[in-house]
Structure 1
Amino acid sequence: MLNLTRPDGSRPEDFHVTRRTAAGMLFAGYAVAAFSAEAAPITTSSDGLVTEWTTIPNGAAKALPAFVARPAVSGRHPAILVVNEVFGIHEWIKDICRRLAQAGYVAVAPDFFYRSGVDLPAKSDLKEILAVVSQASDDQVDGDVRATTAWIRKQPFARPAAIGITGFCWGGQVVWRSAMIDPEIKAGVARYGQLKKVSLRAAELKAPVLGFYGGKDQGITQEDVAAMRGALKAAGRKDEIIVYPDAQHGFLADYRASYDEPAAKDAWPKLLAFMKAHGVG
């Protein structure tokens, strides 16, 4: 069993992956470095959906790849940008996109680490993974986010004034930052994203954000959460942070050992309600 409790995944000493186990994980399409052999990942049907890879112009020599899941029915739908963990676009991120699409959204998951050319879901060495992740600067990622919302606004199946963002772990911090730098984003839901850096910039938030955090997260402490709440209050913000006292880091990821089913089931409808309450629904 792999147990990821750190803010950006585990360290090498936290787990050991055999060749046989790694091969099974890779075949299933999940991130090798995070999959628990005891997990029972949720699989969402693609019936009634269009699922595809596309490329998004972002000013780079090679355009930004993105996985898209959306309702097959005609018309314009609200959109949610889905930001992955450090493991890139693997089967769980695709399933999150399908879940959102089944709820009526256009879900777009950009591959923020594509420039490296590394197949991150296939990697079991966290040092190698984090070396790739570290190459994606805040400015680069922010640019890719803005490119994605610009692309969404031009699509005939998306409502241009109804764009939200959600993200996990590494992607959770991207959510907070995106709500500061992209005026096209109307609402954000951050799942256990690091807070130390963004709490210093709370006054820059332009869109409302809902945060989900675990009380037993060893990498994002309750002191961090309290500091963010204080920064939001000082900035006159009404953003909300929900803490599940018994949950660890990664508690929403049903392919990990850290999955907390009661917390995950409570958080999902709250995400949908928050998006709708802020015009993304």
Structure 2
Amino acid sequence: MSADEFTTQWVQLGEGAGDGPEGYIARPTRREPAGAVIVAGEMFGVPGHLRDICGRFAAHGYTAIAPDFYWRHQRRSQFGYEEPEYGQAMTLMKGLRRDEALSDVAAARVTAQQYAGGGGTAILGFSVGGHIAMLAATERPFDLVVNYYGGWLLDGGIPMAEPLPPVARSEAIAANSGFVLGFFGAHDFVMSLDEWHRIGSHLDAAGVAHEQITYPEAGHGFFNDERPDYYDEMAAKDAWQRTLDALAQHVRSD
């Protein structure tokens, strides 16, 4: 499917009025959507890189929605990777609270289901978005949860992880999730390899159906091709294909 076969726009999420969260949505136009994916990005708001990812999902037949989690402070925000914008994004990320993120995901899930066609609903996140995806799985049912190098999942370290980090509630994830897929670079600076392994042990003990993929040469942010110092082409391509395969197995309607 080419770019002219999907549309993009900002939409109001959920069933509320115009004072609630918005999301950037990309959806196929020449066929019924095969499912929907909520895409929670890195800490940089909803920049071009995240919008491009939504377009890639739409090109494969899925509706993709990137919620604007910073709307309470600045609508449709997008930050660069250098100072001072990096610091501004970090401040907003550390100020985001659990109840706010969960409320925004709930609104996005309502909209996602409206545009899912005959397929299921997934949530996928990168970095802090991976944390949000796993956090959402403790509260809401999803057919598939995909975590790209999400941090603070078991040992905590940000306000959203209080009072209990998501993986500390693995029983709730097991109750809500069809399948959990996780990607991690062994040289990640946000979370240690030891914590990553302990996450797997917690998910196993709770009976969460899951798969964890570790890339020995990659680090944090390996999927972001706009950041050459972080990007790992081999890991990114492999993770993307595995993501598409998981969507086809757990979400896709045809």
Q: TM-score, normalization: structure 2?
A: 0.86
Task: Note the C-alpha offset of 1:63.
Answer: 2.2
Aligned 1:202-281 pairs, distance under 5 A: 202-205=170-173, 206-207=176-177, 208-256=179-227, 257-281=229-253
Any idea what the Cα deviations from partners look like across 1:95-114, whole Å, max 9, x if unmatched? 10011011111011111111
**Distance in 2 separating the partners of 1:60 and 1:134:** 27
Higher mean alpha-carbon deviation, 260-269 vs 57-66, is at 57-66
Q: Deviations over 1:122-178 (max 9, x none)?
A: 5732332222223321111111111111122234xx226511111100000111111
Tell me the alpha carbon deviations over residues 30-71 of structure 1, each in whole angstroms, 9 at most, x when there is no partner.
xxxxxxxxxxxxxx9622111111111465761211111111
1:187 aligns with 2:159: no
Alignment partners' CA distance in 2, 1:58 and 1:144:
12
Q: 2:182 & 2:205 partners in 1: Cα distance? A: 17
CA distance in 2, matches of 1:72, 1:263: 31
Residue 167 of structure 1: SS of its match in structure 2? Answer: strand
Residue 124 in structure 1 maps to residue 92 in structure 2: no
% identical equivalent positions: 32
**DSSP-derived class of the 1:216 partner:** coil
- May I ask how many residue pairs the two structures share in their alignment? 235
- Aligned-pair Cα RMSD in Å: 2.0
Higher Cα Rg, which structure: 1
Gaps of 5+ in 1: 1-43
Q: Return closer, same or farther for 1:154/1:45 CA change in 2, 3 Å cut-off.
A: closer
Give runs of ≥4 in structure 1 deviating > 6 Å: none
| AA of the residue aligned to 2:57 | L
In structure 2, C-alpha distance between the alignment counterparts of 1:160 and 1:181, rounded to whole Å: 23
Residue number in structure 1 paired with 2:162: none
The answer to whether the 8 A contact 2:134-2:167 is kept is no
Q: CA deviation at 1:204?
A: 1.2
Mapping 1:82-161, distance limit 5 Å: 82-117=39-74, 119-121=77-79, 124-125=83-84, 126-155=86-115, 158-159=116-117
Q: Larger relative contact order (C-alpha < 8 A, sep ≥ 6)?
A: 1
The unaligned stretches of length 5 or more in structure 2 are 155-164
Within 1, Cα distance between the matches of 2:15 and 2:91?
23
**Displacement of 1:191 after TM fit?**
0.2
Give the CA deviation at 1:120. Answer: 4.0
Q: Indicate whether 1:174 and 2:155 are aligned.
A: no
Provide the C-alpha distance between the structure 1 equivalents of 2:127 and 2:210, rounded to a whole number of angstroms.
18
Quote the residue 1:24 is aligned against. none
- TM (norm. structure 1) is 0.78
